[in-house]
Structure 1
């Protein structure tokens, strides 16, 4: 049902990372034309393990006008140049999904085609020899290069690691300075219009009533509004992504601080290691069909690189998405809208992109079906492309040392992913789909890193002689190695 009344009062239920990211962007863009209220309770905890991000967060922080050094200091943040995947292709093997480009792209033809011909000629070169991000990461180097001087090559592409709880606090201060009203309280009852089914107000345990025209559900996996009140369905993706539990624990910080995330595969899941200034974030994502909580906890605690700082916390989840991210006058953002394991650090990005999409589709004189449909369709495309990228890591493995990995190797996968794999294997071509978060370079790295090598390369490559091809490879490697040598250490960039 559509409404006709102007949308003037936005109510965000739930704080944490999702709530305050949404509030901050809404306040920045729409703060002068709508009233924004955020309701949260200090008694209700947050999942709080989302500490790694991807490069679009740079644009988000810049849109808010945040100072990078002040942000890093407030959130105990560090730089992230990519994600190192260890034991995913096979035990003992590793590769990195490094941000940014690889080598030098030519018109109509990406660099990996040139690398592949060079390799087929018997030359033993590593694809990541030509990644500035990778070489800087493994040498613990960083400086915010926009480009490499004297060349037409881009510089370092980066994101952040940070304490998600501190980021939420930082954005809370920002939001309140922009006029967002925060109300402390727990929802006792949700008032629903009997005719339209729209939510009209929240009744808090202290008797306060919070009325709104549009509500944003940031209540995490409980989904108080989108799930429990509106009974919005859920699309389960467990048959493609069998991990359904995580155990998280912080440990003492290690130095020098590595500017990349580590993802370490185990017999029934994988472990993350995220270096912050004041501690290291650790967790293990696993399948409860293959490991008990005790087995997973032992695997995690035996593979920390510092002393544990807390008791491990178990987080159950079901991978999938809400059938409608926007239903009636409720928009779900964050874990209330769905869950994808943090393998590619997309959780915080999905919050930011949903908040951005809501602003683009924000209703004016009433909530219109067309806005809801546009928002939901874009949300589905975005999360399904990310889903396929994550499934790729599991499906394209040569591991057969455990029932978990054999199940992953043998499972059926979405047609959208199967077609992409086959095209790359046959021709070396990979194309970025409409609204695909991940670039061609990202797909190339994971496909090659997981052992899927093209059987062919683009015809353009044959325009170079063997000598010219060798000179291209030599010159690029020399340029990248020289640039990395001149970079300062990552620790030197961090605020003191």
Structure 2
């Protein structure tokens, strides 16, 4: 008679740390495993503050919270959010320059040839229209307009996406509410000791300052830069990327806002780094990401305060960081998420997106108590590749600048970039070709936006279009620009959209409303 198979399923998951990462993980995993015997406990201390700098997101955040039963309007009203169609880069190429990286496509591919080849052909003939004029997302953003993307776009010309600028602390509060309503247990306490199993070094339990001990089988470290579990207890190690990314400090401050909030994030080059400006409905988020090797903390403080046009709501807070990643995102029975797993910098709003993808990988590769090493290795390989490819995309922004006014920007140009990025740039310059990888956050349209914004252009165009009649090509491209302009002219302003649909609720969602869904048509104008 066959012996019954041993039940190795994990029953207890312990999340260490709240904030955005911890509560996103708790809410998403509880939803994923609803109805199963899995217990999820989150430990956080109300005495310990969270970083909470990230207020800008990328479009994947909308899929994340929709999977929790929340609509766009639910989240916008609960967090004072505004719409984000992309990022406007000011003075990065050179002083006075500006371009928008939109969440969307450029132009329309024809005869199997990507649009940018046609644009490049006309540019060589003296056409001055910027590539952003062929992007509905970029043009809406530039015009201060907002409307919902079409569910069934008639052509690629209509394809764009959007994300949110939100109050990160209110979003974490919303995620906590969703998680606790679904059954997550929260313990408000400080961890005083991490207990490891003598036989294999796995985490067995944590001691709390209230005198209790919490045991678990699978631990998720959301304790921020400190890495209480992944680093202090398991000594995983850290890969430093500061040879490529020179910024290592940030100053963050909230300010009053005036006027209609723009539907994009503003990032502006400064003496030794760059400054962000993020509009919310009730305030603005501002910050200066800089290199301590190129400017003093006091000088950076003065530069930031001088640049913010509104009254400050508090003194700027300083955050110190080392760009890089944990050598293993998953070590033994512990996975790190958020800042505990690594940090690049706020540019391109990747921090929350990396939390999302980390949670998805946990779901895909959720272990049992044997903790198969092949599963762990696959998780770590996926995490490493994704982080490296985000790293390369961010390095490109610095490497491609043509500023010569300060040592910081000259040093960024002189950086010896990773071979992976060098190969991508060379292939685009030579053939206008995009390399696409499986574990990559930014798709070809985003690379095109940055390449063209920094005047990195192919040496030539696809030879198949040499046979096209030039005047017909001009007319076709002019029609594309005309269609984009007409759509922008017909759209309401961003402020009108917010006033009509997304004014903040008096308080974040009540548990009863958290599962409600609002039909997308209700948001369209």
After TM superposition, the score normalised by the length of structure 1 is: 0.97
User: Quick check: 2:108–2:155 contact (8 Å CA) kept in 1?
Assistant: no
Alpha-carbon distance in structure 1 between the residues aligned to 2:465 and 2:67: 40
Residue pairs, 1:447-462, within 5 angstroms: 447-462=451-466
* Secondary structure of the structure 2 residue equivalent to 1:169: helix
Q: CA deviation at 1:493?
A: 2.2
Match of 1:39 in 2: 43
Residue pairs, 1:380-395, within 5 angstroms: 380-395=384-399
Match of 1:108 in 2: 112
Gaps of 5+ in 2: 1-5, 504-525
Deviation digits for residues 82-101 of structure 1 (CA, Å, limit 9, x no counterpart) = 00111111111111111110
Q: CA deviation at 1:108?
A: 3.4
Alpha-carbon distance in structure 1 between the residues aligned to 2:443 and 2:162: 14
Q: CA deviation at 1:463?
A: 4.6
Match of 1:410 in 2: 414
Deviation digits for residues 28-86 of structure 1 (CA, Å, limit 9, x no counterpart) = 10132211000001100111110000111121122111121121011111100000111
User: Quick check: 1:432–1:438 contact (8 Å CA) kept in 2?
Assistant: no
> Does 2:252 match 1:254?
no
Deviation digits for residues 414-469 of structure 1 (CA, Å, limit 9, x no counterpart) = 00101111111122222222221111111011011112121111123235311221
Q: CA deviation at 1:151?
A: 4.6
Provide closer, same or farther for how the CA distance between residues 29 and 122 of structure 1 changes in structure 2, counting only shifts above 3 A.
same
* Root-mean-square deviation (Å): 1.4
Match of 2:12 in 1: 9
Residue pairs, 1:50-69, within 5 angstroms: 50-69=54-73
Residue correspondences, number: 494
After TM superposition, the score normalised by the length of structure 2 is: 0.92
Match of 2:280 in 1: 276
Match of 1:473 in 2: 477
> Does 2:40 match 1:30?
no
* Secondary structure of the structure 2 residue equivalent to 1:153: helix
Q: Which moved more, 1:427-436 or 1:44-53?
A: 427-436
Provide closer, same or farther for how the CA distance between residues 469 and 148 of structure 1 changes in structure 2, counting only shifts above 3 A.
farther
Deviation digits for residues 231-267 of structure 1 (CA, Å, limit 9, x no counterpart) = 0100000000011000000010222110000110012
Match of 1:18 in 2: 21
User: Quick check: 2:134–2:157 contact (8 Å CA) kept in 1?
Assistant: no
Residue pairs, 1:72-91, within 5 angstroms: 72-91=76-95
Alpha-carbon distance in structure 2 between the residues aligned to 1:80 and 1:89: 22
Q: CA deviation at 1:107?
A: 5.1
Provide closer, same or farther for how the CA distance between residues 152 and 228 of structure 1 changes in structure 2, counting only shifts above 3 A.
closer
User: Quick check: 2:253–2:312 contact (8 Å CA) kept in 1?
Assistant: yes
> Does 2:356 match 1:357?
no
User: Quick check: 1:397–1:450 contact (8 Å CA) kept in 2?
Assistant: yes
User: Quick check: 1:84–1:97 contact (8 Å CA) kept in 2?
Assistant: yes
Deviation digits for residues 140-186 of structure 1 (CA, Å, limit 9, x no counterpart) = 11111226865553343101100110000001000011110011100
Provide closer, same or farther for how the CA distance between residues 149 and 363 of structure 1 changes in structure 2, counting only shifts above 3 A.
closer
Alpha-carbon distance in structure 1 between the residues aligned to 2:150 and 2:368: 39
Alpha-carbon distance in structure 2 between the residues aligned to 1:81 and 1:149: 17
> Does 2:439 match 1:422?
no
Alpha-carbon distance in structure 1 between the residues aligned to 2:131 and 2:202: 54
From 271, 274, 289, the counterpart of 1:267: 271
From 158, 163, 166, the counterpart of 2:162: 158
User: Quick check: 1:4–1:366 contact (8 Å CA) kept in 2?
Assistant: no
Match of 1:296 in 2: 300
Match of 1:175 in 2: 179
Residue pairs, 1:92-103, within 5 angstroms: 92-103=96-107
Q: CA deviation at 1:364?
A: 3.0
Q: CA deviation at 1:188?
A: 1.0
Alpha-carbon distance in structure 2 between the residues aligned to 1:472 and 1:296: 48
